[in-house]
Amino acid sequence: MNLLRLLQQRFAPVLADYADDPAPFVSMVRPAQDTRFGDFQANCAMPLAKRHGLNPKELAAKIAEKVHLQDLCNEVEIAGPGFINLRLRDDLITSEVNRLLTDDRLGVEPPRPARTIVIDFSSPNVAKPMHVGHLRSSVIGDSLYRTLKFLGHRVISDNHIGDWGTQFGMIIYGYKNFLDNDAYTRTPVAELARLYRLVNRLSDFLEARSELPGKKRELEVAERELAATPVPPKGSKDPADKEAEKAIKKLRSQIEGLKDETASLAKKIERVETNAAELALANAHSNIARAARDETAKLHAGNAENLRLWNEFMPECLAALQGVYQRLGIQFDLTLGESWFNPMLAGVVESLKSSGMAVASDGAMCVFIEGNEAPFIVQKGDGAFTYATTDLATIQYRVGELQANEILYVVDTRQSEHFELLFKTVAKWGIAQVDLRHVNFGTVMGKDRRPYKTRDGDTVGLESLLDEAVKEARTIVDLNEAQKADKGEEPLDDAARQSVAEIIGIGGIKYADLHHARESDYVFDWEKMLAKEGDTATYIQYAFARTKGILRKNSIDPIQLLAQGAKIQLSHPAERTLAMQLLKFPEALDAVCAEYRPNQLTQYLFETANAFSAFYNDCPIKGEADEALRNSRCLLAELTGRVLGRALGLLGIQTVERM
Ligand code: ARG
């Protein structure tokens, strides 16, 4: 049962007497901010009173009288200017919490109606190693997938991998010219990644070398101009002075920009110039960028040799991806990459042309959307289709074949403009009704508050990140086990420690990512991530293990207890608070789905673990003489463990019974 929803349903008919659209007022029935005043709170009387020119306190009392609440709440209290404070009846909490003990769904009702939801997440560009940036999409997407599925929707996860992009031209060029055969035989994906990086570096170098002198001149000109511009007297109100001030400001920021650009070009040059072998390669392949583009074009045009190479590379690349997903515990229903939609792209452009939506502009085919300056380019001047074209074909497929009612794109905020144009184009295109939603997220930052990079300035590989997490976790586990040994408890053996380390290391990374509001950038911080106290996976995993420990230490089998008719009773405030918290699980899932925010679930978990910790401290079991109360507490611990375990599971985080 969803208590919040139930209360809201009770308020709805009464509030309908005061508003044509009562929904916004119904949603003012909320969990109480301060539980000293009740469990829930209705703040709707004040705005409604204002609307009708009534006294808010009187209206609150009238509403409270009319709403049928006797079976749910104690005496309703009107407080302050017209708050309605609701405190649930203890017998209701007791009976509901006992009901959860035999409910696999932990009180979560199936959605009405169930929807077909496609989630597009992870979606890396293959043949480049996965990096830390792919973590967020993978982890957020997976947790939404698990949650929506548990609720009872028909959910399809689709890894829209970039397997047809320009990186293949670079790799093919690299393969044809710079291949290290032995390395390729030994570790094909690593060699392909090396080739990709090498071709990238060489073409960046050549481009930078030809651009740098021009940029330097631009910088000199701007600097000379600045030096020659007389600085107007400070605080002058003369319009001419104000203009001059503006011009100076503009010049300064232009100079800053040019300095950054020249510095970055110089760096690209230095990287290769300081490496004699690479410099020789660059000079010998002075057309590399264009040549790589030609290889991509040949691949797309069906050139036999390039297709053969693509077919040779793909299984290796996919296997490497699979390795990462396996470690992360992520599975996809579908992996329909960009290449899969290739045959449909010409049809998409035809359809857009014939409906008059796509028009030729500067040689390219574009869709212009009112209010957006940038056009949505669906075919380039050279005939190549784009990322946009592919996304349009993908939507057609998902709606037509997969019958999607809704598509979620778990993709970096930096692609917002693309999705805005995509969704507007689809709306104009008029394919069947579908809700499209960009579930965007911010960047993972280093401690320097810049995008997280290795010391050499490379993006951080996802695999090495996971290795590091497990290594860090292992140190913590070993420390913990040493303490246990000191206390005379039996420590875990090596294999058990390693598997605990894997679970808390990877869980720690996932939780750290999920517990931030998804739009915000966050700083990657090992120490915080694996802390035993605080809003971390480790803290919750400990709470879970502790629930298991309680049962173990008291030699309790919860199934047996239940069969013997044992029940949860609420005799202590900490028990009541914990029970209330467990009953709020369905509310937490609703909150996740309202705006696709897994951090609503981490917040719920943190509060639940806190409530459990208070219960653990205040409500002893071993020393308790009353057997019924002892059993009740064991059952409450058991139920807490099930809620924690389930909620962590929905985040894609595993648990261990002993840690
Ligand atoms: N492969 C793209 C990238 O790495 C992300 C794809 C997201 N999904 C989509 N349907 N556009 O930037």
Q: Please state the rounded mean pLDDT for residues 109-131.
A: 92
Q: What's the CA gap between 659 and 657, in Å, rounded? A: 7
Binned at pLDDT 50, 70 and 90, residue 98 comes out as very high
Q: Is there a single domain that holds both residue 486 and residue 418?
A: no
CATH of the domain at 74: 3.30.1360.70
**Domain boundary residue among 410, 445, 480?**
445
CATH of the domain at 502: 1.10.730.10
Task: Decide if 265 contacts 206 (C-beta within 8 A).
Answer: no
Q: What pLDDT sits at residue 521?
A: 92
Residue nearest to atom 4 of ligand 1 (CA): 124
Maximum distance among all Cα pairs of the chain, rounded to whole angstroms: 93
Instruction: Give yes or no for residue 441 CB within 6 A of ligand 1.
Output: no
Q: Is there a single domain that holds both residue 275 and residue 247?
A: yes
CA 412 / ligand 1 centre spacing (Å): 9
Q: What's the CA gap between 620 and 617, in Å, rounded? A: 7
CA 509 / ligand 1 centre spacing (Å): 22
Q: Please state the rounded mean pLDDT for residues 584-602.
A: 97
**154 part of a folded domain:** yes
Instruction: Give yes or no for residue 160 CB within 6 A of ligand 1.
Output: yes
What domain count does the chain have? 4
Task: Decide if 163 contacts 339 (C-beta within 8 A).
Answer: yes
Question: Residue for token digits 């515990």?
Answer: 329
Judged on CB neighbours under 10 Å (0-12, 13-18, 19+), 400 is: exposed
Q: What's the CA gap between 475 and 501, in Å, rounded? A: 8
Instruction: Give yes or no for residue 409 CB within 6 A of ligand 1.
Output: yes
**287 part of a folded domain:** yes
Q: What pLDDT sits at residue 233?
A: 87
**Three-state DSSP string of 419-433:** HHHHHHHHHHHCCCC
**Domain boundary residue among 259, 285, 305?**
305
| Residue type (1 letter), 91 | D
CATH of the domain at 353: 3.40.50.620
77 pLDDT above the threshold of 70? yes
Instruction: State the pairing for strand pair 83-86/40-42.
Output: antiparallel
What number does the ligand 1 atom closest to the CA of 394 have?
Answer: 10
CA 322 / ligand 1 centre spacing (Å): 17
pLDDT, one tens digit per residue, over 488-505 is 888 889 999 999 999 999
CA 65 / ligand 1 centre spacing (Å): 54
Q: Is there a single domain that holds both residue 292 and residue 146?
A: no
Q: Is there a single domain that holds both residue 227 and residue 287?
A: yes
457 pLDDT above the threshold of 80? no
Instruction: Give yes or no for residue 25 CB within 6 A of ligand 1.
Output: no
205 pLDDT above the threshold of 80? yes
Judged on CB neighbours under 10 Å (0-12, 13-18, 19+), 450 is: exposed
Q: Which structural domain, as residue segments, surrounds residue 221? A: 166-305
Q: What percent of the chain has pLDDT over 90?
A: 83
Instruction: Give yes or no for residue 391 CB within 6 A of ligand 1.
Output: yes
CA 294 from centroid of its chain's CA atoms = 36
Instruction: Give yes or no for residue 165 CB within 6 A of ligand 1.
Output: no
Instruction: Give yes or no for residue 123 CB within 6 A of ligand 1.
Output: yes
Q: What percent of the chain has pLDDT over 70?
A: 99
Q: Please state the rounded mean pLDDT for residues 149-171.
A: 95
Instruction: Give yes or no for residue 125 CB within 6 A of ligand 1.
Output: yes
CA 391 / ligand 1 centre spacing (Å): 9
Q: What's the CA gap between 651 and 599, in Å, rounded? A: 10
Instruction: Give yes or no for residue 337 CB within 6 A of ligand 1.
Output: no
CA 510 / ligand 1 centre spacing (Å): 21
Q: Is there a single domain that holds both residue 291 and residue 356?
A: no
pLDDT, one tens digit per residue, over 509-548 is 999 999 999 999 989 888 888 888 899 999 999 999 999 9
Q: Is there a single domain that holds both residue 71 and residue 209?
A: no
pLDDT, one tens digit per residue, over 548-559 is 999 998 888 999
**Cβ density class 194-230: b for 16+ within 10 Å, e for less:** bbbebbbbbbbbbebbeebeebeebbeebeeebeeee
CA 162 / ligand 1 centre spacing (Å): 7
* Strand ordering across the sheet containing 406-412: 154-158, 116-120, 406-412, 435-441
Q: Is there a single domain that holds both residue 555 and residue 642?
A: yes
| Residue type (1 letter), 368 | F
What number does the ligand 1 atom closest to the CA of 418 have?
Answer: 11
CA 376 from centroid of its chain's CA atoms = 26
CA dihedral defined by 91, 95, 98, 104, rounded to 10 degrees?
Answer: -140
Q: Which of 120, 121, 123 to mutate to test the pocket of ligand 1 (most atoms within 8 A of CB)?
A: 123
Q: What pLDDT sits at residue 236?
A: 85
Q: Is there a single domain that holds both residue 275 and residue 300?
A: yes
**Domain boundary residue among 445, 477, 512?**
445
Backbone angles phi, psi at 51, to 5 degrees: -60, -40
Q: What pLDDT sits at residue 1?
A: 84
**272 part of a folded domain:** yes
pLDDT, one tens digit per residue, over 318-327 is 999 999 999 9
Question: Is it true that the peptide bond before 24 is cis, omega within 30 degrees of 0?
Answer: no
Q: Please state the rounded mean pLDDT for residues 95-116.
A: 95
Q: What pLDDT sits at residue 316?
A: 93
More confident residue, 218 or 451: 218
Instruction: Give yes or no for residue 138 CB within 6 A of ligand 1.
Output: no
Q: Is there a single domain that holds both residue 69 and residue 143?
A: no
Q: Is there a single domain that holds both residue 498 and residue 530?
A: yes
**372 part of a folded domain:** yes
454 pLDDT above the threshold of 70? no
Q: Please state the rounded mean pLDDT for residues 570-596.
A: 97
Q: Please state the rounded mean pLDDT for residues 191-216.
A: 95
CA 125 / ligand 1 centre spacing (Å): 8
Binned at pLDDT 50, 70 and 90, residue 659 comes out as confident
**475 part of a folded domain:** yes
Q: Say how many Å lie between the first and final Cα of the chain, rounded.
A: 33
**516 part of a folded domain:** yes
Q: What's the CA gap between 331 and 334, in Å, rounded? A: 9
**455 part of a folded domain:** no
Q: Is there a single domain that holds both residue 189 and residue 268?
A: yes
**657 part of a folded domain:** no
Q: What pLDDT sits at residue 455?
A: 67
Question: In the structure, how many helices (H) and strands (E) does the chain have?
Answer: 25, 13
448 pLDDT above the threshold of 90? no
Q: Is there a single domain that holds both residue 288 and residue 412?
A: no
Task: Decide if 522 contacts 444 (C-beta within 8 A).
Answer: yes
- Mean of per-residue pLDDT scores for the chain: 94
Instruction: Give yes or no for residue 393 CB within 6 A of ligand 1.
Output: no
Q: Please state the rounded mean pLDDT for residues 217-224.
A: 96
More confident residue, 340 or 449: 340
DSSP one-letter string for 622-650: TT---HHHHHHHHHHHHHHHHHHHHHHHH
Query: Bridge-partner residues for 582, per DSSP?
Result: none
Question: Residue for token digits 């449909």?
Answer: 344
Task: Give the length of the chain.
Answer: 659
Query: Bridge-partner residues for 158, per DSSP?
Result: 120, 334
User: What Rg do the C-alpha atoms of the chain give, in angstroms?
Assistant: 31
